[in-house]
Amino acid sequence: MTGDERRQALEGIADEITACTRCRLHEGRARAVPGEGDPDTEVVFVGEGPGFNEDREGRPFVGRAGGLLVRLLASIGWRREDVFITNVVKCRPPDNRDPQPDEIAACAPYLQRQLAVLDPAVVVTLGRYSMAAFMPGVRIGQVHGTTRPIDPETGAGDALAFAMYHPAAALRTQALERESFEDIARVPGVLLRARERRESVAVPSAEGPAPAEGPAPAEPLAGHPDVVSGPGRVNGAGDPAIRPAPPALPTPAVDDPAADEASQLTLF
C-alpha cells in the first residue's frame, strides 16, 4: 500500500466511525474519536477511550493524559505526529466509566481495520483495556515495559505489542509516572527488534515460529546520537539515506542490551 492509499483507507474508516451507531456509546457522544497520526508510521499507541476533552474535539489524547503522553514521547525524541494514536473504543463512555465488554466488541472491527491498514511494527498499549486486547490474560503490573508477539486476528499480525500504564493512571501515582518514563525509553529498541523480526519473517526460514518475547532490554537515553530517530516506515517512502533497510544481523538476544545497542550503531 502506498502512503496515499493508507491515508485514504484510514479516512474511510474514520468516516464510518463518525457515523457509527453500533453500540450505546454513540447516544452520548459529542464527537467520535477515530484516531490520528502519521499513516506511514511503524508505531501505533492504543488507549482506552475518549474522555471529556477528546469527545469535544474529536481527537485522541488532547486532555491532561494526552499532555503526559506528549511528554513521554518527547523523552525519546518523538512527537505525537510521528506515530498513530487511537483507542479501543472510539466514543466516550459516560462519566469516563470503563468501557463495557459489548462496547469493546462492537468497536473492535474498527481498530482491527485501522491496524490492518497501518501494519505497524509495534503496538504500544496504554492501560489495562488496551493491553487486554493484545495480551489477553496478563496483569499490567507484571507486564508493563515488556513485549509480546501479537495475534494476527488483531489486524497487526506482524507486530510486537508493548505494554504501558495508562497516562491517566501515571498522572495519579508518581511511581507509575516514573515507571512510564522508564518503559517508554525501551520503545525505540523494541522498534529495532520488531523491524528485524519482520525482516526475518519476510524470508521464510526452517526455524519455525518466532519465540515468545520477554522483557524489553533497557535502551540508551533519548538524545543519544545512536538512538532510533523516529518511527517512520523503513520500507516505504522514507529517505533511504536516512533510513537504510536494516542489514541482515542476528536478532539481538531479548535480554542483551549490548546486542541491541550494537544493532542501533549499525542501523543509524
Residues 32-61 that bind ligand URA (CB under 6 A): 47-51, 54, 60-61
CA-closest candidate to residue 84, choices 137, 135, 159 = 159
Joined grid coordinates for residue 78: 518523538
CB 59 → ligand URA: shortest distance, Å? Answer: 8
Count of CB atoms situated within 10 Å of the CB of 242: 10
**Between 131 and 170, how does the x/- string for binding to ligand URA read (CB under 6 A)?**
-------------------------------------x--
Closer Cβ to ligand URA, 61 or 78, answer by number: 61
Q: How far is CA 149 from CA 176, 188, 193, in A?
A: 24, 16, 11
* Rounded Cα distance, 134 and 178, in Å: 24
CB 93 → ligand URA: shortest distance, Å? Answer: 10
CB closest to ligand URA, residue no: 47
CA-closest candidate to residue 162, choices 46, 38, 36 = 46
**Between 63 and 82, how does the x/- string for binding to ligand URA read (CB under 6 A)?**
--x-----------------
CB 173 → ligand URA: shortest distance, Å? Answer: 16
3-state secondary structure of 148: strand
Contact status: 261 vs ligand URA (CB under 6 A): no
Return the residue of 87, 114, 146, 154 that touches ligand URA, per CB under 6 A: 87
Closer Cβ to ligand URA, 67 or 250, answer by number: 67
Closer Cβ to ligand URA, 49 or 155, answer by number: 49
Beta carbons of 217 and 256 less than 8 angstroms apart:
yes
Closer Cβ to ligand URA, 97 or 258, answer by number: 97
Closer Cβ to ligand URA, 87 or 146, answer by number: 87
Number of residues that bind ligand URA (CB under 6 A): 11
Count of CB atoms situated within 10 Å of the CB of 176: 20
Based on the number of CB atoms within 10 Å of its own CB, is 16 exposed (0-12), middle (13-18) or buried (19 or more)?
middle
Partners of 46 in the beta sheet?
86, 125
Give contact residues for ligand URA (rule: CB under 6 A). Answer: 47-51, 54, 60-61, 65, 87, 168
